[in-house]
Structure 1
Amino acid sequence: MFDGMQKRVVSMWFPRLASDRVLRARPLEGPFALTIRQASANRIYCLNDIAEQHGLHRGMSHADARAFCPDLQSRPADQASDGRFLNVLRRWAMRYCPWVGFEGVDGLVLDITGAAHLFGGEAMMLADMRQKLGRARLTARIGLGDTRGAAWALAHYGEGCAEPGHLLRVMSSLPVAALRLDDKTATALQRLGLRTIGDLEGTARAPLTRRFGPDLLMRLDQALGRQPEQITPLPEPPKYSVRMTLPDPIGLSDDVMAATSRLLDQLCSRLQAREAGARVLCLTLRRVDQEAQTVELRLARPLRDAARILPLFERGVAGIDAGFGIDQIRLEAAQVESLPVQQVSHVSAGQVDRLDDLITRIGTRIGLDNIQRFLPANSHIPERSFLITPAAYSEAEGPWIALRPRPLRLFAPEPIGGTGARPPQRFRWRRMSLSTARATGPERIAPEWWLEDDNWRSGLRDYWHVETCQGRRLWLFYTPQNPGWFVQGEFA
């Protein structure tokens, strides 16, 4: 910022940020609202313009809203996605100036001092903002002033532009709530007859300070430029990348691995300083003919140990075509996760590390998502008692706990002949004639009523552990509601 240059601030307010985000992805006709759970009741969180025209408003209970507007379409709000969308808008707004920060959960603030002339002036800049936001189907209100407080007030209560040095003249007619006051303070001021900022400015300051504290006059002074208020842009996330330019081209795999080792030492030092670990590493090799080849390494666990990471690059580096030589190598941690320092056991740490390295090595050939593990699930239904998840993105849990023995193999129920509530003495299964030698049971399992599963529509099941004379150890069940016998598993 140059000395003597008048500071200019833009405030963008998105009053329907959440609903606009949802409707951009899935347009709907008619009234629409997002709901949020508050105090044991669903309340309106955000709504579109048509819903407001029907008399609905934020904070209204969902039941009352449906009574006023039977055609209302609604869905639960996703505040995390709204926050990510606002961050996308923040990055987009950096096209106008480098200083862009958040203004609450539904607004942005931009310090455009010295940048408006790049767009033909302030009026042309604001027109460009409105045009692009309107094209993106986003409802936005924009204010421009000398201070952050003035820009916020104009965006929320005036949507206008205050000429440099004339803040009080523009803001004097705005309500006192435009000073970013809480509802209680704004209501108390209105009861005293102080309804506008002009009324507040013309009142003695000492009585206001005694009654409302210093925050009221601080907000007034910030809006009128008597007290500075900074705009703090969101810092960009750190980038973990290192590069090496070679004086002479190289082409041997051993030379590339030696250079990669030096880069890994530097990169892992940066990761350790921030207690982070790399999950995806990209090694880019630039040849002398300006062509580049990339070796991507996806790790089963976040790592910052150069000695463990380096051997995992060997297979990818061996397949590189060096051409007439490689003159530049760049290593980047494309995906980084938190990896705080923690106490580990000298007995188990090595075993876990070797398993993670093995998963990484196999994953480079068939993909990490194709290496899966079984995890226990909290359900007494046999089909729902386990989960299958990628081993690289899950942790091995404790031992399996089963009150009754479970078969090693489970499959879809296969019907067999038999009548009565006890296992049949003779039955045929998979083209084999079997006879029961010993039967243990029954173990009655009831369906989980809160889940819909067509395989359990028959109701209760009585499970039996059956040992046959032919050596098969099977898991049979009987359905009392619809009499029938089925085989669902086989013990080892």
Structure 2
Amino acid sequence: MFDGMQRRVVSIWFPRLASDRALRARPLEGPFALTLKHANTNRIHCLNNAAERAGLTRGMPFSDARAFCPDLQSRPADPRADLRFLLTLRRWAVRYCPWVGLEDDDGLVLDITGAAHLFGGESALLMDMRQRLSRAGLTAHIGLGDSRGAAWALARHGEGTAETGQAIDALRDLPVAALRLEDKTIVALGRLGLRTIYDLANAARAPLSRRFGPSLLMRLDQALGEQPEQITPLKDPPHYGVRMTFPDPIGISSDVMAGTERLLIQLCTKLHARETGARILCLTLRRVDQDSQQVELRLARPMRDAARILPLFERGIKDVDAGYGIDQMRLEAVQVEAMPVQQLSHVSTGSKDRLDDLITRIGTRIGLENVQRFLPADSHIPERSFLIAPAAYSAPDSAWVTLRPRPLHIFPANPILGAHIIPTPPKHFRWRRMSFSTARAIGPERIAPEWWLEEDAWRSGVRDYWTVETRQGRRLWLFFTPQSPGWFVQGEFA
């Protein structure tokens, strides 16, 4: 703010932010509403103008809304997407002034002190805002005043402008709800006959302070500009990108690798300063004919070590067509993750780093999602005791905790032939066209099905598992089903 200059604040309220965002993506005609589950009831979260004209309101149960308006179309609400959209609008509002913050979850606040003249005055600035937001399909109410409280009140309860030093004249007829008070305070003031801001401003302050506390008069003074209220702008997210321009074009792979190394050193310095690591890197090579080629590198783990990352770019850079030469290189960390500093120990992590580099190299050829690992799962059912997850997006878990050893190979249960239908392992049996003789049997281990899961293979009931060592050298995992007597092979030990 400039010394001696009256502060001017703009408040932009988006009463239909969520529904406007949804309809921008997929336009519809007629009444429309977004629903959100609250207290086990699906309720109206946000609705368009046509739905409001049909008599629907926010917070109404969705079943009641459909009864009032059979033509109502709906979609589930997405509060996270709404917040991302509001942050996008905040970045757009920076074109008017650098001091922009969020106002609740559906508004923006701008300190335009000393910036209005750049757009031809305050009226021209507000007109430009309204026109741009209207063309974007957004419903917006805008208020302008000397304070944040006055701008908020005008945007939500009147949409107007308070001239410099004339806040009370612009706010006098607005309800006391425009002061951002609690509902119980608004009701209590109404019972005292204080329904407008003018009534409250002319009432005795001492009784109001004793009855309602200091917060009521603080909100009044903030709206009238007699007590300052700060606007906290959001910081722009850090940008992890570096570039280099060459006086003469280059085209040899070794030169491109040398330039990439210099860019990596600069980028990794930024990543290290913010304790983050890159997961996806994008190297853009601009040719002299203004065409560009990109080399994308997806890493198995967050990394910020230039010496380790550089060799991983080699394969992609060799496939680049330099054309008549490359005159600019740009390296950007498209996706980053937290990578805090860790305490050093006597245990070396070299083997883990080499494994991550190997996963990255293989992933660049077949895709990181196709390099998978087995993880233990919390289930005593053999088929459900493990999960398969991409190695790049999962960490190796602790070893499987089992009371009995499990076979290395587990496959769908296969019935065996020539076995007597008795609970003890057969002495002779045939499996997969091979004959076996039992030398030693360990068991049984009874495993019951998980009744809360639908598993067709386990509908027969419990199973009694045996580890059978055959005279032919095979160690098999057999089980017996008492409910419908039969023997099956489900696994083989190494």
Query: How high is the TM-score relative to the length of structure 1?
Result: 0.82
Cα deviation 1:63-82 (Å, max 9, x = unaligned): xx879989999999765444
Report the Cα distance in structure 2 between the residues aligned to 1:259 and 1:124, rounded to whole angstroms: 45
How many pairs were matched up?
479
In structure 1, the residue matched to 2:404 is: 404
The answer to whether the 8 A contact 2:429-2:435 is kept is yes
- Please report how far the alpha carbon of residue 488 of structure 1 lies from its aligned counterpart in structure 2 after TM superposition: 1.8
Alpha carbons of structure 1 residues 122 and 382: separation in structure 2 relative to 1, 3 Å: same
In structure 2, the residue matched to 1:309 is: 309
In structure 2, the residue matched to 1:126 is: 130
The correspondence for 2:469, drawn from 463, 467, 472, is 467
The answer to whether the 8 A contact 2:288-2:326 is kept is yes
Report the Cα distance in structure 2 between the residues aligned to 1:332 and 1:261, rounded to whole angstroms: 13
In structure 2, the residue matched to 1:238 is: 238
- Please report how far the alpha carbon of residue 93 of structure 1 lies from its aligned counterpart in structure 2 after TM superposition: 5.5
Report the Cα distance in structure 2 between the residues aligned to 1:30 and 1:255, rounded to whole angstroms: 58
Report the Cα distance in structure 2 between the residues aligned to 1:327 and 1:107, rounded to whole angstroms: 44
User: How do 1:431-446 and structure 2 match up within 5 A?
Assistant: 431-446=433-448
Report the Cα distance in structure 2 between the residues aligned to 1:22 and 1:481, rounded to whole angstroms: 58
User: How do 1:176-255 and structure 2 match up within 5 A?
Assistant: 176-255=176-255
Report the Cα distance in structure 1 between the residues aligned to 2:346 and 2:383, rounded to whole angstroms: 38
Q: Secondary structure at the match of 1:392?
A: helix
Letter in 2 for 1:161: G
- Please report how far the alpha carbon of residue 125 of structure 1 lies from its aligned counterpart in structure 2 after TM superposition: 4.0
User: How do 1:78-89 and structure 2 match up within 5 A?
Assistant: 79-89=79-89
The answer to whether the 8 A contact 2:276-2:338 is kept is yes
1:17 to 2:21 alignment: no
- Please report how far the alpha carbon of residue 128 of structure 1 lies from its aligned counterpart in structure 2 after TM superposition: 5.0
Cα deviation 1:42-98 (Å, max 9, x = unaligned): 68583657699898864x8x8xx8799899999997654443343345446667766
Cα deviation 1:304-339 (Å, max 9, x = unaligned): 112222222222223333333332222222222111
User: How do 1:58-69 and structure 2 match up within 5 A?
Assistant: 58=59
- Please report how far the alpha carbon of residue 405 of structure 1 lies from its aligned counterpart in structure 2 after TM superposition: 0.9
- Please report how far the alpha carbon of residue 29 of structure 1 lies from its aligned counterpart in structure 2 after TM superposition: 8.5
Letter in 2 for 1:278: A
User: How do 1:5-404 and structure 2 match up within 5 A?
Assistant: 7=8, 9-14=10-15, 17=18, 21=22, 33-36=35-38, 46=45, 48=47, 58=59, 79-91=79-91, 100-110=100-110, 114=116, 122=126, 125-126=129-130, 129-130=133-134, 132-133=136-137, 140=139, 142-146=141-145, 147-158=147-158, 160-162=159-161, 164-165=163-164, 167-404=167-404
Cα deviation 1:338-372 (Å, max 9, x = unaligned): 11111132423222222212222222222211111
Letter in 1 for 2:18: L
The answer to whether the 8 A contact 1:242-1:267 is kept is yes
- Please report how far the alpha carbon of residue 485 of structure 1 lies from its aligned counterpart in structure 2 after TM superposition: 3.1
Alpha carbons of structure 1 residues 74 and 163: separation in structure 2 relative to 1, 3 Å: closer
Report the Cα distance in structure 2 between the residues aligned to 1:482 and 1:169, rounded to whole angstroms: 88
Report the Cα distance in structure 1 between the residues aligned to 2:183 and 2:221, rounded to whole angstroms: 19
Report the Cα distance in structure 2 between the residues aligned to 1:265 and 1:197, rounded to whole angstroms: 60
Report the Cα distance in structure 1 between the residues aligned to 2:388 and 2:124, rounded to whole angstroms: 59
Alpha carbons of structure 1 residues 51 and 306: separation in structure 2 relative to 1, 3 Å: same
- Please report how far the alpha carbon of residue 228 of structure 1 lies from its aligned counterpart in structure 2 after TM superposition: 4.0
Q: Secondary structure at the match of 1:84?
A: helix
In structure 2, the residue matched to 1:137 is: none
Alpha carbons of structure 1 residues 124 and 277: separation in structure 2 relative to 1, 3 Å: closer
Cα deviation 1:151-193 (Å, max 9, x = unaligned): 43344444x3235355434432332222111234333333433
Letter in 2 for 1:382: P
- Please report how far the alpha carbon of residue 407 of structure 1 lies from its aligned counterpart in structure 2 after TM superposition: 0.9
In structure 1, the residue matched to 2:416 is: 416
Alpha carbons of structure 1 residues 363 and 24: separation in structure 2 relative to 1, 3 Å: closer
Q: Secondary structure at the match of 1:458?
A: coil
Alpha carbons of structure 1 residues 331 and 99: separation in structure 2 relative to 1, 3 Å: same
Q: Which moved more, 1:411-420 or 1:299-308?
A: 411-420
Report the Cα distance in structure 1 between the residues aligned to 2:25 and 2:310, rounded to whole angstroms: 45
The answer to whether the 8 A contact 1:30-1:51 is kept is no
Alpha carbons of structure 1 residues 24 and 342: separation in structure 2 relative to 1, 3 Å: same
Q: Secondary structure at the match of 2:302?
A: strand
Report the Cα distance in structure 1 between the residues aligned to 2:34 and 2:97, rounded to whole angstroms: 34
- Please report how far the alpha carbon of residue 194 of structure 1 lies from its aligned counterpart in structure 2 after TM superposition: 1.9
In structure 1, the residue matched to 2:454 is: 452
Report the Cα distance in structure 2 between the residues aligned to 1:85 and 1:482, rounded to whole angstroms: 60
Q: Secondary structure at the match of 2:320?
A: coil
Report the Cα distance in structure 1 between the residues aligned to 2:21 and 2:462, rounded to whole angstroms: 48
Q: Secondary structure at the match of 1:414?
A: strand
| Structure 1, unpaired ranges of 5+ | 135-139
Alpha carbons of structure 1 residues 274 and 6: separation in structure 2 relative to 1, 3 Å: closer
- Please report how far the alpha carbon of residue 132 of structure 1 lies from its aligned counterpart in structure 2 after TM superposition: 3.4
- Please report how far the alpha carbon of residue 403 of structure 1 lies from its aligned counterpart in structure 2 after TM superposition: 1.0
Q: Secondary structure at the match of 1:144?
A: strand
Q: Which moved more, 1:411-420 or 1:365-374?
A: 411-420
- Please report how far the alpha carbon of residue 404 of structure 1 lies from its aligned counterpart in structure 2 after TM superposition: 0.8
Letter in 1 for 2:425: P
The answer to whether the 8 A contact 2:438-2:469 is kept is yes
Report the Cα distance in structure 1 between the residues aligned to 2:254 and 2:76, rounded to whole angstroms: 56
- Please report how far the alpha carbon of residue 429 of structure 1 lies from its aligned counterpart in structure 2 after TM superposition: 2.3
Report the Cα distance in structure 2 between the residues aligned to 1:479 and 1:407, rounded to whole angstroms: 19
Report the Cα distance in structure 2 between the residues aligned to 1:23 and 1:254, rounded to whole angstroms: 48
Report the Cα distance in structure 1 between the residues aligned to 2:379 and 2:53, rounded to whole angstroms: 45
Letter in 2 for 1:193: G
Letter in 1 for 2:327: D
Cα deviation 1:433-478 (Å, max 9, x = unaligned): 3343333222222222232333333332222222233322222223
Q: Which moved more, 1:264-273 or 1:457-466?
A: 457-466
Letter in 1 for 2:143: L
The answer to whether the 8 A contact 1:143-1:153 is kept is no
The answer to whether the 8 A contact 1:277-1:303 is kept is yes
In structure 1, the residue matched to 2:491 is: 489
Report the Cα distance in structure 2 between the residues aligned to 1:218 and 1:54, rounded to whole angstroms: 36
Report the Cα distance in structure 2 between the residues aligned to 1:90 and 1:385, rounded to whole angstroms: 48
Cα deviation 1:90-126 (Å, max 9, x = unaligned): 4466677665432222333345663776996635743
